[in-house]
Amino acid sequence: MARIEARTEELTGISPDAIPFDELFARQRPVILKCVARDWPLVRHGLHSPLEAIRYLTSFYNGAPIVGYVGAPEINGRFHYNAEVNALNFAAERTRLDVFLDRIIAHRDDPDPPSLYIGSTDVDTYLPGLRDENDLKLDHSTFAGAPAMVSLWMGNHTIASAHWDMSNNIACCMVGGRRFTLFPPEQVENLYPGPLEPTPGGQVVSMIDFAAPDLDRFPRFADAMAAGEVAELEPGDVLIYPALWWHHVEALGSFNAMINYWWNAVPSFMDSPMNTLLHAILSLRDRPGAEKESWRAMFDYYVFGPSDRPAEHLPVAARGALAPLDEVAARRLRAMLLKKLNR
């Protein structure tokens, strides 16, 4: 097992009605808010028994089909690739939520159960009313402009291999325990990312098996371990961490559940940076090294430096795409880009 000594900072005594979001966002690091969701009904039911938590959850279920993921016992909960890395090591099934949860309970005492997982299920769509009793008070201006996406994650003992998300995350441990292993974005090279597609859950994942890391094959992972930290969550604990932080998530126990909030503090008309990365592979990656260094200077000036610098010496009417983006300007820029891509 990967040995990472650093532990994510824990804050105690935080009121659920007065979460200090300004302070937490300013940190730009993971932090655990101990017991902030401890009084949620779902947490209380789960502390009594997994079966009681499932009965509570399914009381809100509206019957719409969900997607469940099933892996053989041999994968030990690690949803990943086959040995040849040309296919995934699990299957997706379209089913009912209550049927899939019954399947998890049926295997809860098995010494070697199949791996059963439901990921990123929109709470309001599939379990309307659940948030009326189980919800964070997100009264910060960040969420007013960009409402959070609220999802439910459930399963038995499962592992989401280290990956990153484009959104900031608030992860609320509801039933069972969860262990997050977290790495800052600059550790990307040391985590040996896998293929861009297919991916186990929509995002690129690390090729390293954290249960038995092969440092002969992946020697730089030692540097990642030195930079990483571990967040151990109990029911009612809340973990907050910034976008693009790598996180390896192990769900513990025969049944576990988590509610998370994803959000980006940017207008919805802005495009995905992942599209930029893909186009950069197409247009920049294989150019000569000296030319790439020149383009690095261009990107530093136009993209990564102060956003107002490239246009500050130009008359307002002449700034065009260099002016601050709004919805109309974003549409024009997108149309110009599509025209160039389709030439």
Q: Note the pLDDT tens digit of each residue in 118-152.
A: 999 999 999 999 999 999 999 888 888 778 999 99
Which contacts of 51-58 are long-range, i.e. CB under 8 A and separated by 24 or more positions? Answer: 51/105, 53/174, 53/175, 53/255, 53/257, 54/101, 54/104, 54/105, 54/255, 57/97, 57/101, 57/127, 57/130, 57/152, 57/154, 57/257, 58/97, 58/98, 58/101
User: Over the stretch 247-296, which tens digit does the pLDDT of each residue have?
Assistant: 999 999 999 999 999 999 888 888 999 999 999 999 999 999 999 999 99
**With pLDDT > 90 as the criterion, what percentage of the chain qualifies?**
89
Structure tokens at 323: 């002016």
CA angle 151, 153, 159 (to 5 degrees): 135
d(CA 314, CA 104) in angstroms, rounded, equals 63
**What DSSP string describes 155-189?**
ESSEEEEEE--SSEEEEEEEEEEEEEEEE-GGGGG
Q: Is 212 left (phi over 0), alpha (psi -120 to 50) or beta?
A: beta
Tokens 């985590």 -> residue: 191
Q: 248: buried, middle or exposed (CB in 10 Å: 19+, 13-18, 0-12)?
A: buried
Residues β-bridged to residue 71: 115
pLDDT at 329 over 80: yes
Q: Confidence band (pLDDT; 50, 70, 90) for 40?
A: very high
Asked which of 162-171, 187-196, 329-338 is least confident by mean pLDDT, the reply is 329-338
Structure tokens at 171: 């992860």
How do 149-155 and 246-263 pair as beta strands? Answer: antiparallel
Average the pLDDT over 57-85 and give the result: 97
Q: Is 338 left (phi over 0), alpha (psi -120 to 50) or beta?
A: alpha
What pLDDT is attached to residue 317?
A: 92
User: Can you list the domains of the chain with their CATH numbers?
Assistant: 10-263 (2.60.120.10), 273-341 (no CATH)
Please give the mean pLDDT across all residues of the chain. Answer: 95
Do the Cβ atoms of 263 and 166 come closer than 8 Å? no
